[in-house]
């Protein structure tokens, strides 16, 4: 039992020394046992170290490190180059040889084909041959930093900072990954050192030398990466400080412009309240409100324009080149804006006017509710056009402002004139007293249109200051025309432009009642007369007397 413990102690001492002092007094048998124990301890320890190496290799393989892949590509490129050099040397030898055997000719063709393949691989691995970690060591590229000159650039600057930080964090993660890999390689080299202290076999020595070279490559890459990361970090700090200053300047500028715009908005808001209080006419209030809104909007646009356009001449140059294309692409918009200027400043159409618009073969009559920058909005009313043509009413009609140049637009209530001529016609027979019919029609129209006649006379007198008016007769007019089916009595009178159908209905029924009350006036209407005759009994041709009987 004591000898067994002694042998175990001797074996454990082999962990720290390659040799054990053997007492001269020991027997040959004891010495052999000690040597066997020493060999067993070595093998056991070496097996333990190899197990640790396997664990480390498995950890490295699980990481799937880009560094190991890059280094593996580097080793592959070296092997490929070395193989290529041997092949080229062999090819040169075979080409110089004069008398070649068939096998050498086949070998030469095979080597040339392989040379082409390896040359293409060398071109792909060209960077890996000289610098295995060039792509990994190169920091992320920083493009030209854009200047922040308007509020939209603030988001660009913030996004750029986030992008740069993300790229730098990825670079730092690569560096940390390299540190972990170097730590594992150092552990491997330490274990190989322990193994070599127990067993100096060339196999372990070669592996240790390869790992040592690999470690040197990785440590050199880490040193380079540390310096690069420090420089890159300082550059990022400078860029972020610059961007943050420009962002702060833009925010302060936005705040100042916001205050100015708020003051302008409050001023025009108070101006609208003032106009609403002292202008009672709806039409004038509407136009004043529109003008105030337009001036307010234009002033705000000019404030923004002159604050964010640094080089106005440059903008004018760009607009000069782009104006032709813009004019073609947005022709209708520009024409509508020009039409709006003509409508508003020309005074031909106002909000509240009753107008008729001819659009695509249809006629629409209604009241103008709004005149915006691009279009007029019309509320279609029940008119004679609705009754006879459209059979629709109450629709909202949107008329582009450019129609004032290309379409027929009639204004029934232009300026102070709020009345229009309307008429009814009725046909009487030829034997009726047409003079009495004309007199009755005239008296009826005078009676029901007298108020509108007086109003129109005053309105026309006001229009004399703006237009040349020759025929200002406002009394009802009665005409008679000979038609194929009778005499047409045509009565024309002035009526309210917004309610023509009402007065037409009243006058029509009054005239019919008056004509029906007269014995010598007969209202004509389409009639049809049928003449029926009894056909005479005729003798059939070639008939005999007997047949007739």
Q: Which pLDDT value is given to residue 54?
A: 84
Output the six-digit token pair for 359.
Answer: 């659009």
Mean pLDDT of the chain: 79
**380 - beta bridge partners?**
366
DSSP assignments along 338-370, one per residue: HHHHHHHHH-S--TT-EEEEEETTEEEEEEEEE
* Contact call for residues 442 and 478 (beta carbons, < 8 A): yes
Q: Which of 222, 374, 377, 375 is nearest to 366 (CA)?
A: 377
The rounded distance, in Å, linking the Cα atoms of 219 and 312 is: 57
**427 - beta bridge partners?**
488
**483 - beta bridge partners?**
486
Q: What are phi and psi of 365, to 5 degrees?
A: -120, 125
Positive/negative CA dihedral, 480, 482, 486, 492: negative
The rounded distance, in Å, linking the Cα atoms of 303 and 310 is: 13
SS3 400: strand
The number of beta carbons lying within 10 Å of the beta carbon of residue 427 is 17
The rounded distance, in Å, linking the Cα atoms of 147 and 162 is: 16
The tokens 């101006």 sit on which residue? 271
Q: How far is CA 456 from CA 128, 351, 441, 505, in A?
A: 99, 21, 21, 21
Q: Which pLDDT value is given to residue 212?
A: 85
SS3 502: helix
SS3 490: strand
Positive/negative CA dihedral, 276, 280, 282, 284: negative
Q: Which pLDDT value is given to residue 17?
A: 44
The rounded distance, in Å, linking the Cα atoms of 456 and 451 is: 9
Q: What angle do CA 242, 246, 248 make, to 5 degrees?
A: 115
Low-confidence spans in the chain with pLDDT less than 70: 1-27, 122-132, 200-202, 283, 308-330, 528-529, 531, 534-549
Q: What are phi and psi of 369, to 5 degrees?
A: -95, -30
Question: Exposed e or buried b for every residue in 376-408, given b needs 16+ CB within 10 A?
Answer: bbbebbbbebbeeebeebeeebebbbbbbeeee
Q: Which pLDDT value is given to residue 92?
A: 82
SS3 483: strand
Q: How far is CA 170 from CA 60, 167, 176, 177, 520, in A?
A: 20, 5, 10, 10, 110
* Contact call for residues 46 and 199 (beta carbons, < 8 A): yes
Q: Which pLDDT value is given to residue 549?
A: 44
Task: Give the start-end residues of each E strand in 305-349.
Answer: none
Q: Is 541 exposed, middle or buried (0-12, 13-18, 19+ CB in 10 A)?
A: exposed
Output the six-digit token pair for 209.
Answer: 């030398």
Q: Which pTM value belongs to this model?
A: 0.50
Summarised one tens digit per residue, pLDDT across range 103-150 is 877 777 888 888 888 777 766 665 555 566 777 777 777 777 778 777
The number of beta carbons lying within 10 Å of the beta carbon of residue 336 is 23
The residues, any chain, with a CB within 8 Å of residue 119's CB and separated by 6 or more, are 84
The rounded distance, in Å, linking the Cα atoms of 314 and 319 is: 9
Q: Which pLDDT value is given to residue 125?
A: 60
The rounded distance, in Å, linking the Cα atoms of 244 and 238 is: 10
- First-to-last C-alpha distance (Å) of the chain: 173
The number of beta carbons lying within 10 Å of the beta carbon of residue 82 is 10
The residues, any chain, with a CB within 8 Å of residue 495's CB and separated by 6 or more, are 419, 420, 421, 422, 449, 452, 503, 504
Q: What number of H helices and E strands is found in the chain?
A: 16, 8
Q: What is the DSSP letter of 389?
A: I
Q: What is the DSSP letter of 386?
A: I
């Amino acid at each position: 039992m004591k000898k067994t413990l002694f042998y175990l102690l001797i074996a454990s001492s082999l962990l720290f020394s390659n040799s054990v002092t053997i007492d001269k007094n020991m027997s040959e048998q004891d010495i052999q046992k000690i040597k066997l124990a020493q060999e067993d301890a070595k093998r056991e320890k070496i097996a333990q170290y190899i197990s640790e190496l396997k664990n480390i290799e498995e950890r490295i393989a699980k990481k799937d490190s880009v560094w190991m892949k890059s280094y593996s590509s580097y080793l592959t490129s070296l092997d490929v180059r070395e193989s290529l050099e041997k092949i080229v040397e062999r090819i040169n030898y075979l080409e110089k040889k004069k008398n070649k055997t068939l096998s050498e000719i086949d070998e030469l063709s095979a080597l040339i084909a392989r040379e082409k393949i390896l040359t293409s691989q060398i071109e792909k691995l060209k960077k890996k041959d000289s610098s295995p970690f060039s792509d990994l060591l190169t920091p992320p590229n920083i493009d030209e930093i854009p200047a922040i000159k308007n509020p939209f650039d603030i988001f660009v600057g913030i996004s750029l900072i986030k992008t740069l930080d993300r790229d730098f964090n990825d670079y730092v993660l690569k560096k940390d990954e390299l540190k972990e890999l170097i730590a594992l390689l150092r552990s491997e080299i330490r274990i190989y050192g322990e193994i070599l202290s127990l067993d100096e076999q060339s196999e372990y020595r070669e592996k240790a030398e390869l790992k040592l070279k690999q470690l040197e490559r990785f440590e050199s890459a880490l040193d380079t990466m540390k310096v690069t990361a420090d420089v890159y970090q300082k550059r990022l700090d400078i860029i972020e400080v610059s961007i943050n200053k420009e962002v702060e300047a833009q925010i302060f500028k936005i705040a100042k412009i916001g205050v100015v715009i708020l003051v302008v908005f409050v001023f025009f808001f108070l101006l609208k309240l003032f106009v609403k209080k002292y202008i009672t006419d709806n039409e004038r209030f509407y136009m004043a409100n529109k003008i105030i809104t337009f001036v307010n909007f234009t002033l705000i646009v000019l404030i923004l324009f002159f604050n964010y356009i640094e080089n106005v001449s440059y903008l004018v140059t760009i607009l000069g080149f782009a104006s032709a294309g813009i004019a073609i692409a947005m022709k209708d918009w520009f024409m509508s804006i020009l039409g709006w200027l003509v409508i508003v400043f020309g005074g031909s159409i106002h909000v509240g006017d009753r107008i008729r618009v001819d659009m695509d073969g249809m006629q629409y009559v209604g009241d103008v509710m709004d005149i915006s920058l691009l279009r007029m909005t019309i509320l279609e009313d029940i008119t004679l056009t609705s009754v006879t043509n459209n059979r629709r009413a109450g629709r909202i009609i949107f008329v582009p402002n450019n129609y004032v140049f290309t379409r027929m637009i009639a204004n029934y209530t232009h300026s102070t004139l709020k009345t229009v001529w309307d008429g009814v016609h009725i046909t009487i027979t030829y034997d009726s007293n047409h003079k009495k019919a004309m007199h009755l029609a005239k008296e009826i129209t005078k009676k029901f249109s007298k108020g509108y006649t007086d109003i129109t006379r005053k309105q026309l007198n006001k229009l004399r200051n703006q237009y040349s008016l020759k025929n200002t007769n406002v009394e009802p007019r009665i005409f008679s025309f000979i038609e194929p089916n009778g005499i047409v009595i045509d009565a024309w009178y002035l009526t309210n432009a917004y309610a023509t159908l009402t007065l037409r209905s009243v006058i029509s029924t009054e005239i019919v009642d008056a004509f029906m009350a007269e014995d010598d006036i007969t209202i004509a209407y389409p009639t049809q007369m049928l003449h029926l005759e009894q056909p005479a009994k005729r003798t059939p041709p070639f008939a005999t007397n007997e047949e007739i009987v």
